[in-house]
Structure 1
Amino acid sequence: MTHSILRIDASARAQGSVTRDLTGRIAALWPAAHVRHRDLAADPLPHLTEDWVSANFTPEANRTATQAKALALSDSLIDELRAADKLVIGLPVYNFGVPSALKAWIDHVARAGVTFRYTETGPEGLLTGKRAILAMASGGTQAGAEIDYASTYMRHILGFVGITDVTVVAADQLALDADASLARALDQIGELQAA
């Protein structure tokens, strides 16, 4: 089976980024895969506007050409997401949360009626059957700790749109012992390869 990977990088650092290194290593585990690389720092997405919100809440059949144009980028990002069977997402922790560049991507792809829907029993994600691997790096925040609003949020939002198979490769608390943290992350990548 040929895999289709959507690799997303969000680190503001073009050079010396731990998450960029990790996402590259993880994507390379499937050398025959088709990899679509989206660099949210080098090519940032616009934040949502009133025109976008208005278009999004207008039924598709009733949208004007201007409204369709307002959603065109979002539609394209969702198409990329749908086409991938694996997501490899760089997750640098900025001030205990996700970078604003990654949050903008989330805002474009988490759309009611498109990637999730509300039912009588609650919300239902529509992007099922995918695997996500988060390459997390932090200075002092421990992955999964009470103050980790990055990986816990990403697990939640991915699950909300139907992606429940989520693995975190954590190079966390780099400020405390960078060498040991990176070694643990590389071990985790090795375990991914074995799985």
Structure 2
Amino acid sequence: MNILQVNSSARQNGHSTKLAHELAQALVAAQPGAQLKVRDLTTQPHPALDEATLGALFTPVDQRTPEQAARVALDDALIAEVQAADVVVLGVPMYNFGVSSQLKNWIDAIARAKVTFQYTANGPEGLLKNKKVIAVLTRGGLYRDQPHDTQVPYLRNVLGFLGMTDVQFVYAEGIAMGPEAEAAALASAREQIAELTA
């Protein structure tokens, strides 16, 4: 089993990173021989999608400048990691009701037409199939199953579009609501992790 852990917090030791690490380690312990690859977008931020990047992606491979080839290679590396993974563990903090810019940049990098999805006569088809995704969601307030939870619908939609339809969520909510609430949120998340990895 190949496990890919993606940390997307703006803080190196954020709660989402710590819990994602605990989850990934529990998966490794439960599967002898499992291999873990950690992609830390905090210490190794991925560049945002911009006009130069789009220009590079839409330039035929044999016509790219060395700079364009180098930029595309950065995205290629992320795509290869996801393609090789059986399980993807995402550390997902909530920032202003959404995902972090670090995670959005990663998603923009791995979403590539004719590589991770394609358009067919029957509509779009995701090409990153047969993978399990577990997203560890950390939130300052309480958003689970509420209309203002934009993260879960967004992640289900974009990951499903890429073919990753087996998506589960671990919730740590109320972290900013005082020390007791924070402790309870982390304990609850750890219970959910234990259930998922039993």
Alignment TM-score, normalising by the size of structure 2:
0.89
- Counterpart of 2:103? 102
Distance in 1 between residues matched to 2:121 and 2:59, nearest whole Å:
22
Task: Report the alpha carbon displacement of residue 96 of structure 1 after superposing the two structures with TM.
Answer: 0.5
What RMSD over aligned residues (CA atoms) do the two structures have, in Å? 1.6
Residue 6 (str. 1) matches residue 12 (str. 2): no
In 1, Cα distance between the equivalents of 2:60 and 2:129?
24
Partner of 2:183: 179
Q: 2:64 maps to which residue?
A: 64
Residue 189 of structure 1 corresponds to which residue in structure 2?
193
Aligned to 1:24: 21
Q: Give the Cα separation in 1 of the matches to 2:123 and 2:174.
A: 36
* Residues 83-122 of structure 1: pairs in structure 2 closer than 5 A: 83-122=84-123
Deviations 1:99-147 (A, max 9, x none): 1011111111111111001111211100000000001100014134211
Aligned equivalents of 2:144 and 2:176: distance in 1? Answer: 14
| Number of residue pairs the alignment of both structures matches | 190
**TM-score (norm. length: structure 1):** 0.90
Deviations 1:31-83 (A, max 9, x none): 342111111011111112222212222344x5424343331111111001101
Correspondence list, 1:27-176, <5 A: 27-29=24-26, 30-31=28-29, 32-60=33-61, 63-66=63-66, 67-176=68-177
Aligned partner of residue 38 in structure 2, secondary structure: strand
Runs of 5+ unmatched residues, structure 1: none
Q: Which runs of 5+ in 2 are unaligned?
A: none
Residue 187 of structure 2 aligns with an amino acid whose one-letter code is: A
2:69 and 2:100 map into 1 onto residues whose CA distance is 28
